[in-house]
Structure 1
Amino acid sequence: MKITILFIMHTLFTADLHLREQEPEITNGFLRFLKLNVYKADALYILGDFFEYWIGDDDPQPLHREIAAALRGIATAKVPCYFIHGNRDFLLGKRFAKECRMTLLPQEKRISLYGHRIIIMHGDTLCTDDIDYQRYACKVHNQIIQKIFLCLPICTRLNIVAKMRCRSQMINRCKPEAIMDVNPQEVINVLERNNADWLIHGHTHRLAVHDIAIQNGKRAKRAVLGAWHHNGSMLSVTPEGMELIEFPL
């Protein structure tokens, strides 16, 4: 008797894992996620803040080698992996991407999947009401500043990142929650500028799918990926639509 196996087309998105040596349960959860979900997918997109911080591709942390090996595994299985930088790992470079066999994408990327027109990004550029953060982002994305930083000894870079993170946490505690979320008009601007039906992003950690009215009465959707704190989070896109899924680590 002939048995027909049906393979359901689906592409997976995730973001905001904030991987670091001090939280091995998140790393282990991600490795299980690859084995149980990604090997069956058409592709994996990681939309930033994959790591808690990134001080350069020359950082010898064992965690980086472990993750690179795992991502090479899905590449060997013919599942492509794509990466968009976040506000924590914007220095992740071509050297590490090559080690992982993943493709680096620009800050904002339009893709077509199963007939859906989709814009993907990390999401921090949508938070235009947070003026202080946007000013900070302009400074740290300056290529001259980045080159100087990457020339410093690793221990110096680690100290700088620790101080910056401490300062950021103190500032964020004093900010209203609303200004750290996306600006609704900026969301519409991005969708209309790219003639897209969906927007997928992370950054805010506010797991949800939003229905949005755009020009000429058209409707669009905005999917927000959750952070990997107590649970993992992924978005599955199929020819039929999208589904946000949380799962235990």
Structure 2
Amino acid sequence: MTTWFISDLHLEPSRPASIQQLFAFLQHINGEADALYILGDLFEFWVGDDYLDTPEGQAIAPLIQALRAVSDSGVPIYFMHGNRDFLLGERFATETGCTILPEQQVVDLYGTPTLLLHGDTLCTDDADYQKARAVFRNPKWIAQVLTWTIPQRIQRAQEMREVSKESTQHKSEEIMDVNQQSVEQVMRDAKVTRLIHGHTHRPAIHDFQLEGVDVQRIVLGDWYTQGSYLRVDETSGITLLTER
């Protein structure tokens, strides 16, 4: 059987092609996979599960139903928060049938202990981002934000997105990529030989040695211009796929 991994879809109404591509993918794996892991940033932004009660939120009902159909078919769906959708909560999980994972999760992937992350915590050279992340992921900050009206939250999310775009224009590619020492440290701490993450939008399979042992880091791609998937098959191994 096969386990699938996706991340960084950044779904929003302005990019309907990505949404349709996800529908096709979900239909393809319905009842035909061991599991689906979504490693963050499924949405361009998520302002809380009560967003589902708004007209805009109700527009994604078909996506909720498609995810639910996959989980009802016997394929478990696991979701990990990204930096754009960390306000996604238990209501979304209940309606889709998915399980929300912690920031780090080790899974046994056909005999190989594998660490799963969204990936932003590995970008430790970007000190400004890490400081902002510490604020935004603080439970007290989250609780305060969820007291705002939905329009207020949407406006703040859009403002933060513009600030992020402006900031990244002035940062080097190296700063926005993972730090190799941080990669090695989390793999040591988790006692794994494989790491799978997203966030950087740089799909690749990196093989290297850690303390004399062959290890592997797999980076998932984004969905801005194409679909990007990681297929891990029990017999045929690992394949990174893209589809326009």
CA distance, structure 1, for counterparts of residue 232 and residue 138 of structure 2: 34
Moved more, 56-65 or 116-125: 56-65
* Residue 169 of structure 2 is aligned to residue 173 of structure 1: yes
Tell me the alpha carbon deviations over residues 40-80 of structure 1, each in whole angstroms, 9 at most, x when there is no partner. Answer: 11110000000000100000313432221111101111000
Q: Which runs of 5+ in 1 are unaligned?
A: 1-8
CA distance, structure 2, for counterparts of residue 55 and residue 32 of structure 1: 26
Q: 2:67 is aligned with what amino acid?
A: L
TM-score of the superposed pair, with normalisation by structure 2: 0.95
Q: 1:230 is aligned with what amino acid?
A: T
Question: Counterpart of 1:221?
Answer: 216
Give the RMSD, CA atoms, in angstroms: 1.0
CA distance, structure 2, for counterparts of residue 15 and residue 155 of structure 1: 26
CA distance, structure 1, for counterparts of residue 61 and residue 24 of structure 2: 17
Aligned pairs for 1:1-249 within 5 A: 9-59=1-51, 60=54, 61-215=57-211, 217-240=212-235, 241-248=237-244
Q: 1:47 is aligned with what amino acid?
A: L
Q: 1:80 is aligned with what amino acid?
A: P
Q: 1:140 is aligned with what amino acid?
A: F
Tell me by how many angstroms 1:38 deviates: 4.6
CA distance, structure 1, for counterparts of residue 28 and residue 13 of structure 2: 22
| Identity within the alignment, % | 43
TM-score of the superposed pair, with normalisation by structure 1: 0.94
Moved more, 42-51 or 56-65: 56-65
Is the Cα contact below 8 Å between 1:115 and 1:239 reproduced in 2? no
Tell me by how many angstroms 1:96 deviates: 0.9
CA distance, structure 2, for counterparts of residue 158 and residue 91 of structure 1: 12
Q: Which runs of 5+ in 2 are unaligned?
A: none
CA distance, structure 1, for counterparts of residue 110 and residue 42 of structure 2: 26
Tell me the alpha carbon deviations over residues 179-211 of structure 1, each in whole angstroms, 9 at most, x when there is no partner. Answer: 000000111111111111110000000010000
CA distance, structure 2, for counterparts of residue 165 and residue 23 of structure 1: 16
Is the Cα contact below 8 Å between 1:81 and 1:102 reproduced in 2? yes
How many residue pairs align between the two structures? 239
Is the Cα contact below 8 Å between 2:29 and 2:70 reproduced in 1? no
